[in-house]
Structure 1
Amino acid sequence: MTPDANGGESGQIETGTTDADADDASDAAADPDTATYPDVPDWDDEYIDRVSDRLLFNYDLDRDRHVRGERFTLYGELHIESHKQFFHEALSYGHHESGEHLFVRRADRTDVAELERLVDLAHALADEWIEPNEEHYSTEFTFAIATDTIDADTKSFVEGFTDRTLLKYGYHGHYEINLVVVAPDHEELVASRNADVANAFRLWDDDTPTGLLERLVARVRR
């Protein structure tokens, strides 16, 4: 967003994604062999590897991440900075930072107990990883499990799950925990309400998850 003709204020979003990245994404979607991305890991799991293709333009990705005794097949980190300005970037104010930590695990099965353990992990990581200050707006911890089947208890738990914690009554922003469980062989997925990244795991949909970053930016602006 740029300043208006009358010299009003504007807002800017700075992310790791540029116009050039968007062009590269379009080219890669049209012909996956036109470009390679040496900094992006490969996964032996075909499903996880295809999910990573949907994430790589917005997230920094890593594989086989171990955190507090928990192992994750894929880890992704998203960082967004936003600010408002008058006339020129030098006259900026209202700096805010938002981000997401995405943890993906492949497992034969999952249950409510495992999900509750991951929720506890998220709260512990929030204490360690978040630096509360006036510029911090939001941090999301999203856990996605790719499994063989989704039982009724797990589905009910995820659908009803919500967990947002205000930091210093909201003056230092908040953090939120999201859950996604997907059974790709059955083309079934369940996600908590604010798990915007869930569409990246629906590989059976014809439409690619374009607009992922735009949805996240919209949430920052709310």
Structure 2
Amino acid sequence: MSEKVRPEELPAEIREAVPDWDDEYLDRVSDRLMYNYDLEKDRSVSGERWDLYGEMRVRSQKQFFHPALSYADHEAEEYLFARRESRPTVAALERLVDFGHDLADERVVPNEEHFGTDFTFVLVADELPDDVREFVDGFRDRTLLKFGYHGHYEVNLVVVVPDAEDHVASEAADVAEAFTLWDEVSEPDEGFLSQFAKRFWK
């Protein structure tokens, strides 16, 4: 197993670029996210306010003997939006899904190098209603672009209740692990993104 990196071992410029949250829970979550995401706080996007906002970009490149002779370039990115919402509803989550599709229209540039873009919405709640749990559990919203030749984009949902140590996440919402502070962070399975970064180390 790889050795875990502690925050104090990161370069100073990375540590200094991470904001401090007055919200203790989100501040601790940011300690897990800071290794892979560029983070901001109190970000407004298309009229929606988010307590925590993050972006992650990964580029995969195959090459022969020199970087100039590259081929099969692929780009993947994730946009992460998190905020407190005391009592989430299914209607609110459906609006976020629509919002994710609107963002995809604005931000995704379909081309042969585009592998995938994720839009992940996390609501930090005081309770987890049964209908919300049912809606999010197993939810999957993936859109292929030009039959997959130009990659895809995906909308992910997470609802977390820190006080109850409870959460529910849609099928492809891997980032949920960063928000479940009561659980140990697992070693990720090898996949497209995990080949490039250790994710969510404490």
Gaps of 5+ in 1: 1-21
Note the C-alpha offset of 1:68: 1.8
Whether the 8 Å CA contact 1:54–1:209 is kept in 2: the answer is no
2: distance between equivalents of 1:166 and 1:73? 30
Question: Paired residue for 1:128?
Answer: 106
> 2:185 aligned with 1:208, yes or no?
yes
Question: Paired residue for 1:27?
Answer: 6
TM normalised by structure 2 equals: 0.88
Is the helix fraction higher in 1 or 2?
1
Whether the 8 Å CA contact 1:111–1:154 is kept in 2: the answer is yes
Given the superposition, is the C-alpha separation of residues 208 and 177 from structure 1 closer, same or farther in structure 2, using an over 3 Å criterion? same
Note the C-alpha offset of 1:66: 1.0
Counting only pairs closer than 5 Å after superposition, residues 1-222 of structure 1 correspond to structure 2 as: 26-28=5-7, 37-205=15-183, 207-208=184-185, 211=188, 215=191, 217-218=193-194
Sequence identity percentage: 57
- The alignment partner of 1:87 has SS state of coil
Whether the 8 Å CA contact 1:200–1:209 is kept in 2: the answer is no
1: distance between equivalents of 2:144 and 2:185? 33
Matched letter for residue 59 of structure 2: E
Whether the 8 Å CA contact 1:196–1:215 is kept in 2: the answer is no
2: distance between equivalents of 1:52 and 1:211? 18
2: distance between equivalents of 1:194 and 1:59? 18
Note the C-alpha offset of 1:218: 4.8
- The alignment partner of 2:43 has SS state of strand
Note the C-alpha offset of 1:85: 1.7
Matched letter for residue 61 of structure 1: L
Report the structure number with the largest CA radius of gyration: 1
Whether the 8 Å CA contact 2:145–2:151 is kept in 1: the answer is yes
Gaps of 5+ in 2: 197-202
Matched letter for residue 112 of structure 1: V
- The alignment partner of 2:136 has SS state of helix
Matched letter for residue 26 of structure 1: V
Question: Paired residue for 1:8?
Answer: none
What is the total number of aligned residue pairs between the two structures? 193
- The alignment partner of 2:103 has SS state of helix
Per-residue CA deviation, residues 97-123 of structure 1 (Å, 9 max, x unaligned), is: 000000001121111011000000000
Aligned residues: CA RMSD: 2.4
1: distance between equivalents of 2:40 and 2:179? 17
Higher relative contact order (CA 8 A, sep 6+): 2
Matched letter for residue 217 of structure 1: L
- The alignment partner of 1:83 has SS state of strand
